[in-house]
Chain A
Amino acid sequence: MATLTQERANPRVTAPPRPRKSLFRSINPYLYLIPAFIIMAVMTYYPMGFGLWMSFTNFGLANLRVNSAPPDIVWFKNYFDILTGAVAIPNFDFLSMLAFNLFWTFSNVIFHVSIGILIAVLLNVQGLKFRGFYRAIFVLPMVIPTLVVANVWKNMYDPDFGAINQALAALGGLIGLAPATFHIRWLEQVDPAIPGIPLPLSYFALLITNIWLGWPFMTIVATGALQSISKDFYEAASIDGATGVQSFFSITLPLLRPAMVPAAIYGMITTFNLFNLIYFVSGGGPLRQTEILVTTAFRLVNEQRLYGVAAAFSVYIAIILLIITLITNRVSKATESYDV
């Protein structure tokens, strides 16, 4: 992602110069692109433009049929309605949803990266036994489709029959707590989990699930970077009297940065748009408190059938993601100088 916007013409891209350039040679590059751009023009760019037009209309179920009346142009009404919450969804509040979505993204990626690095360092300790066994197990969350993972975790959080409460009850039984203590309504409890912090318990349930899903990828990336750090750095540091903790913070972390920053950016974009997890585990509940932008965009189309509003909502998503991309681009450029 980081490098996308700086595509510079590479002087070596062309074949060696020839004295005369035939017509065929000058149109040849475009022949390679034409099939892809024909498909994208019809299936990607036209829908985007069409969606932009729809966002200025009150396009609804009544305008869906081929011969039905065209929708009315309402200009920026949809955009205002979204911002002011005048959308036919109960508890709809765009700004708090956006705030939750951003908080959701950052909190997840912080856990992914730090846990991923810690476990990579643990696995990289010299003399560790069964290293290959652990590495083989630890990739499993990454290779199972998120759709399946999300549906399984949803059932695991079931207050009566879910594995989480049953396991907690079994553990609690060891210290004499009654099983009823652990009738935790992970996904349904409306009261804040921690008094004073406006986050529902389902946020933490989602966080646990997504940490389970996310850290192995970061561990794999960090392991690769760790293995390219020369041992000499650590030897020099220990001769100078540095402790293990000191070398971790002044050698390991800075040298991991060039590999972790692109991975973290990739993780951020993925987590920001993590439809499957939110939609299937919490369903955005309770009371829309864990709803994010992409799940709401789907609900506007699928449940409310407000196609015009949904199109305007998508324009907001595009603008927000553009801003995030520009910021992360800048961040990753700033860290490039660490690449040794």
Chain B
Amino acid sequence: MSNRIVRPAVRARILSAARTDAPRTRVAGRHMGLGKQLMLQLLLLFITFTVLFPILWVVSMSLDPRNLARPTELRLIPPGASLQAYIDVLNKPTTNPVSLQQLAFNSFMLAAGSALTSVLVGVFAAYGFSRFKFRGREVLMLAIIAVLILPSVATLAPLFVMLNRITIGDFNLRNSLFGVGLALLSGLLPFAIWNLKGYIDTIPRELEEAATIDGASPNQIFFRIMLPLAVPALAVTAFLGFLSGWTEFYLSWQFLTNPQNFTLAMALYNMTGQFADTTPWSRFAAMSILIALPVSLVYLSLQKYIVGGLTIGGVKG
């Protein structure tokens, strides 16, 4: 069986995972006894407990107002729970002279800038690969996939050296958020092309054929038909890019030296491990939640679109 036939089938199957209300079930027409139901519920409650344990631990720690260096006991709701740790983090997240607002702004600009660029440029290339037949198509597509196989750490050294050489006056491209964004883009763009091409491949061609008969040019078809249809995929791809920018660590850690350019991920790393001797864990917990909550909520709302795309389109971690 050819790949073209299998791929949409697999995609549809993975996508249908998101429909939790699907009526079809596995075991044929048997009713469950009370004992079996109880056993299952106990097992699933245990799994629920393991899933929630780290999350509840962080949430309860973040509510601890006592400013203890380290927690000495497990408590779901600490005595005198308050949002003091969040206020402390907002005022002074780390010992570096940079505010949380600046950190969040930097992370946001880095993530949004590279994600939007990758999607805006990538959708043209994705359409080109999906809908045109031209000389060199296979070779160029392979060139994109070859990049996807490689983890982005692999190009860290040459990117660092290369961007470090670009200096204009006091401005060093390597030591700037713009440089980190460019380095991030080098991995996000091929991912966006591949992910969007996978989606455009599944859009039936009948609409375009009808438009062609009505005299539309390929460019009109792209702007009037394809772009509107691809909006969900554009949103998901942009969000995945945003997510990797929002939690990007090794590029910014390697490139940036000015605290005013630091990102949330770098600040979080400064609050754990060897650098964290003086940071109360309540602040670390509050910081974790502040970083995770916005993207987690968006992920939850886009989840059913994301899972299908990931197994087909993405390999880049």
Q: A and B, one complex? A: yes
Query: Contacts A36-B124, A47-B186, A224-B13: A231 and B28 contacting too (C-beta < 8 A)?
Result: yes
- Which residue on chain B has the smallest CB distance to residue A49? B158
Secondary structure type dominating chain B contacts: helix
B149 close to A227 (CB less than 8 A): no
A residues 42-63 in Cβ contact with B at 8 Å: 43-48, 50-51, 54, 59
A335 to chain B, nearest CB (A): 10
Task: Give 5 new A-B contacts, CB below 8 A, not counting A40-B186, A51-B158.
Answer: A33-B124, A35-B125, A124-B25, A143-B296, A153-B54
B155 close to A325 (CB less than 8 A): no
Query: Contacts A154-B273, A220-B18, A231-B24: A137 and B48 contacting too (C-beta < 8 A)?
Result: yes
A170 close to B254 (CB less than 8 A): no
- Chain B residues with CB under 8 Å of A35's CB are 121, 124-125
- Chain B residues with CB under 8 Å of A212's CB are 50-51, 54
- Chain B residues with CB under 8 Å of A229's CB are 26
A153 to chain B, nearest CB (A): 7
B291 close to A145 (CB less than 8 A): yes
What per-residue 1/0 map shows which CB atoms of B126-149 lie under 8 Å from chain A?
011111111001101111110101
- Chain A residues with CB under 8 Å of B70's CB are 158, 160-161
What per-residue 1/0 map shows which CB atoms of A126-143 lie under 8 Å from chain B?
111111101101111111
Could you write out 23 A-B pairs with CB less than 8 Å apart?
Answer: A4-B142, A12-B205, A37-B125, A39-B121, A43-B182, A54-B157, A64-B164, A124-B25, A125-B26, A128-B32, A130-B44, A142-B299, A163-B53, A163-B57, A166-B73, A167-B74, A222-B17, A224-B16, A225-B17, A227-B19, A258-B9, A301-B254, A314-B157
A78 to chain B, nearest CB (A): 11
Query: Contacts A15-B218, A122-B43, A224-B15: A155 and B132 contacting too (C-beta < 8 A)?
Result: no
A221 contacts partner chain B, Cβ-Cβ < 8 Å: yes
- Chain B residues with CB under 8 Å of A138's CB are 47-48, 51
A243 contacts partner chain B, Cβ-Cβ < 8 Å: no
- Chain B residues with CB under 8 Å of A126's CB are 25-27, 29-32
> How many pairs of A and B residues are in contact by the CB < 8 Å rule?
363
B162 close to A13 (CB less than 8 A): no
Measured CA separation A124–B153 after assembly (Å): 40
A249 contacts partner chain B, Cβ-Cβ < 8 Å: no
B315 close to A29 (CB less than 8 A): no
A134 close to B44 (CB less than 8 A): yes
A294 contacts partner chain B, Cβ-Cβ < 8 Å: yes
Which residue of B3, B51, B132 contacts A14 across the interface (Cβ within 8 Å)?
B132
What per-residue 1/0 map shows which CB atoms of B293-317 lie under 8 Å from chain A?
0011001100100010011101101
Of the four ranges (under 10, 10 to 19, 20 to 34, 35 or more), the interface on chain B belongs to 35 or more
B160 to chain A, nearest CB (A): 7
- The interface-forming segment of A86-94, A106-114, A193-201, A261-269 is A261-269
Which residue of A13, A37, A266, A325 contacts B133 across the interface (Cβ within 8 Å)?
A13
- Chain B residues with CB under 8 Å of A135's CB are 20
B133 close to A14 (CB less than 8 A): yes
Query: Contacts A220-B18, A280-B269, A321-B150: A125 and B158 contacting too (C-beta < 8 A)?
Result: no
Query: Contacts A146-B247, A166-B74, A269-B315: A321 and B16 contacting too (C-beta < 8 A)?
Result: no
What per-residue 1/0 map shows which CB atoms of A64-105 lie under 8 Å from chain B?
101000000000000000000000000000000000000000
Binding site for B on A (CB under 8 A): 1-10, 12-16, 26, 28-30, 32-33, 35-37, 39-40, 43-48, 50-51, 54, 59, 64, 66, 119, 121-132, 134-135, 137-149, 151-156, 158, 160-161, 163, 166-167, 170, 212, 216-217, 220-229, 231, 234-235, 238, 244, 252, 258-259, 262-263, 266, 269-270, 273-276, 279-280, 283, 294, 297-298, 300-302, 307, 310-311, 314, 317-318, 321-322, 325, 336-337, 339
Measured CA separation A333–B272 after assembly (Å): 44
- Chain B residues with CB under 8 Å of A16's CB are 209, 212
Query: Contacts A43-B183, A322-B149: A132 and B53 contacting too (C-beta < 8 A)?
Result: no
Which residue of B43, B47, B124 contacts A32 across the interface (Cβ within 8 Å)?
B124
A129 to chain B, nearest CB (A): 7
- Chain B residues with CB under 8 Å of A26's CB are 134
- Chain B residues with CB under 8 Å of A127's CB are 31-32, 37
A36 close to B189 (CB less than 8 A): yes
Measured CA separation A242–B133 after assembly (Å): 52
Query: Contacts A64-B164, A126-B25, A170-B74: A275 and B138 contacting too (C-beta < 8 A)?
Result: no
B residues 222-241 in Cβ contact with A at 8 Å: 222
- Chain B residues with CB under 8 Å of A160's CB are 70
